[in-house]
Amino acid sequence: MHPEKIVFTYQGDGDLASIGAAEIIHAANRNENITVIFVNNAIYGMTGGQMAPTTLPNQVTTTTPLGREIITGAPIKMSEMIATMDHIAYVERCMAADGPSIMKTKRAIRKAFECQINQEGFSMVEVLSSCNIGWKMSPVDSLTYIKNTMTQTFPLGVFKERKHETNH
């Protein structure tokens, strides 16, 4: 409707990987020239800490009090899945766990917006993030959990970077 506008979404994992999973996959597949910031804290935080599709195996949530079992599915790796779409611009997974990782995340988000400004198409930055209340951990422990535990299931890195091409 307004191709001159800068458009971004800011979505949790409950939203992006579950409630809005169909929408994100087709927006990416259409190579919409938008930027998605995907805040993955592995639970539905706002509604009380229920299991999300990204919840880690054996992770305790309010709906998996004994830990997530495989019968409920394995953690969905949205960045890897979306990066299979060859024509999109950029997908990176970062974390917000300490000063350096936050600065790296900032650079990734900047790059994602530059893709959009340069009309290169769909860009997404996944940010592994804490929810210390939902995780029932101290804030400091939850940052350690991101670094040592979440990254085992959700490795950091660039999954898609299409250079020097324009989409439109």
Q: Which residues sit at the interface with ligand TPP, rule CB under 6 A? A: 12-15, 19, 39, 41, 43-47, 52, 131
Q: How far is CA 40 from CA 12, 119, 125, in A?
A: 6, 26, 10
CB atoms within 10 A of CB 26: 10
Taking the complex as a whole, the smallest distance from the CB of residue 167 to ligand TPP amounts, in Å, to 28
Question: Residue 103 CA to chain centroid, in angstroms?
Answer: 17
By C-beta, is 112 or 131 nearer to ligand TPP?
Answer: 131
Taking the complex as a whole, the smallest distance from the CB of residue 129 to ligand TPP amounts, in Å, to 8
With tokens 């805040």, the residue in question is: 39
By C-beta, is 31 or 41 nearer to ligand TPP?
Answer: 41
Rg of the chain over Cα atoms, rounded to whole angstroms, equals 16
Residue with nearest beta carbon to ligand TPP: 12
By C-beta, is 45 or 75 nearer to ligand TPP?
Answer: 45
By C-beta, is 52 or 83 nearer to ligand TPP?
Answer: 52
- Range list of β-strands (E), 30-147: 35-40, 43-44, 50-51, 90-95, 123-128
Taking the complex as a whole, the smallest distance from the CB of residue 40 to ligand TPP amounts, in Å, to 8
